[in-house]
Amino acid sequence: MSTFIKDFIDHEVMSRRKLLLAGAAGMATMAVPGAFGRGQARAALTDPTIAWSYRDRASAYWNSVLSGGEAFVESIGRSKSDLVSLISEGSSEKSLSDIRTFLARTNGNCAIACDPNDSPNARPIVESVAAAGAYISTIWNKTDDLHPWDFGDNYVSHMTWSDEQPAEQTARILFEAMGGSGGVVHLGGIAANNPAVERLAGLHNALADFPEIELLDAQPADWDTTKAAQLMSSFLTRYGDRITGVHCAADNIAYGVIEALRAEGITDMPIVAYDGNPEAVKLVMDGQLLATVFTNPFWGGGISAALAYHAAIGTFKPSEEPQEHREFYGPTVLITQADAAEFQAQYLDSTPEYDWEDFWGPSNGQIQYR
């Protein structure tokens, strides 16, 4: 096992232990005041507390999201420690419980950026925020029938990424590296996650053009490195040499896959991933990954907090914005071995600086539903 992979897994395990201890000593579910009613926002909030609700900070992806949120709060003259972290640990129940507690503690005088963890959890979160007269911007997960414009100004915006096409591109790169034939396995995210669904759909799109590629198996690894290592080991036991390529829904998953393959002495398996984390970009540069996809989590984290905050203080009125400003795609960049060094120089070797009042500049159009 490489030093990088071992260090990553050790760090993740330690961080999870800390998070579990923090959660055990943390907040309990509390009732939420409903003084303002659905869609009835206060005219403007004064000095609202800002929070980010996310999975964990052990992941490079979510760490970058939070770093963007911290950069935003610093841009308005606050300390980065003023950004409240609501860590869901991948639990939808904890995500909802923590947000309701936060709403009660601030009496609704707050602006929240949030990944609801899975799609069904978005509605009760948004309804709780609206009932408390607070403001929220979400990313990644919501159901297709849940829209910000149905909640007046309180549900400010939703951003996701059009993952299907980039995931299809990585699959095509993988299949070309496999010589156009062989067996592939897919390790996905949490089954109810929109990105997990779209990334698997992208793989199926590419398979339609490669009839000699067989999808041997596709199962959720829940965005988790340790679970991905265990799942890949089970795939190797079940399919053995029939596996000639691996399609991963996230960089964290690819780290576990690489660990499992190396445990079996396999170092040349073609693998693709998703997220564009710094560690994954280095693996692409070193030839251990064929490709990954960058979604600019730093910008996504900062602009989601900025949208909720500015709507809360009345800098702009969400209900007066067009729908393409309420639901929109974030940017994506495909990273291959041919351009990984250039990408690193542009995005990773220096701290990005963004205008946090340019709410939609890097966005990529209104979300489309099938």
For every residue of 95-134, DSSP letters joined together read HHHHHHHHHHHHTT-EEEEE--SSGGGHHHHHHHHHHTT-
pLDDT at 68 over 80: yes
What tens digit of pLDDT does each residue of 131-142 get? 999 999 999 999
Answer yes or no: is pLDDT of 210 > 70: yes
Report the pLDDT value the prediction gives residue 195, as an integer from 0 to 100: 86
| Burial annotation 24-54 (CB, 10 A radius, 16+ → b, else e) | eeeeeeeebeeebeeeebbeebeebbbbbbb
Domain coordinates in residue numbering, the chain: 49-160+296-321, 163-294
Q: Do domains 49-160+296-321 and 163-294 have the same CATH topology?
A: yes
Tokens 């170092």 — which residue? Answer: 267
- Contact yes or no for 86/95 (Cβ under 8 A): yes
Kindly list the distances between the CA atom of residue 225 and the CA atoms of 46, 103, 221, 231, in Å, as whole numbers in the listed order. Answer: 42, 32, 8, 10
Instruction: Please give the Cα distance from 156 to 139 (Å, whole number).
Output: 11
Q: What would the mean pLDDT of 85-103 be, rounded to a whole number?
A: 97
pLDDT at 70 over 90: yes
In tens, the pLDDT along 267-288 reads: 999 999 999 999 999 999 999 9
CA distance 67 to 59: 12
Indicate if the pLDDT at residue 334 is higher than 60. yes
The CA distance from 122 to 303, in Å, is: 19
How far apart CA 21 and CA 337 sit, in angstroms, is: 40
Provide mean pLDDT across the span 358-362: 94
CB 8 within 8 A of CB 255: yes
358: Cβ contacts below 8 Å, ≥ 6 apart = none
Looking at domain 163-294, its CATH architecture is 3-Layer(aba) Sandwich (3.40)
- The pLDDT value recorded for residue 21 is 36
Model confidence band, residue 42 (pLDDT cutoffs 50, 70, 90) = low
DSSP 333: E
Model pTM? 0.77
In 3D space, the residue among 238, 198, 196 whose CA is nearest the CA of residue 217 turns out to be: 238
CB neighbour list of residue 132: distance below 8 Å, 6 or more residues apart: 32, 33, 34, 35, 36, 103, 104, 107, 108
Q: How many helices (H) and strands (E) does the chain have?
A: 11, 12
Contacts of 44 (CB under 8 A, 6+ apart): 312, 313, 314
Name the burial class of residue 214, with classes exposed (0-12), middle (13-18) and buried (19+) by CB atoms within 10 angstroms of its CB: middle
| Domain 49-160+296-321, CATH among 1.10.10.10, 3.40.50.2300, 3.40.1650.10, 1.10.150.300 | 3.40.50.2300
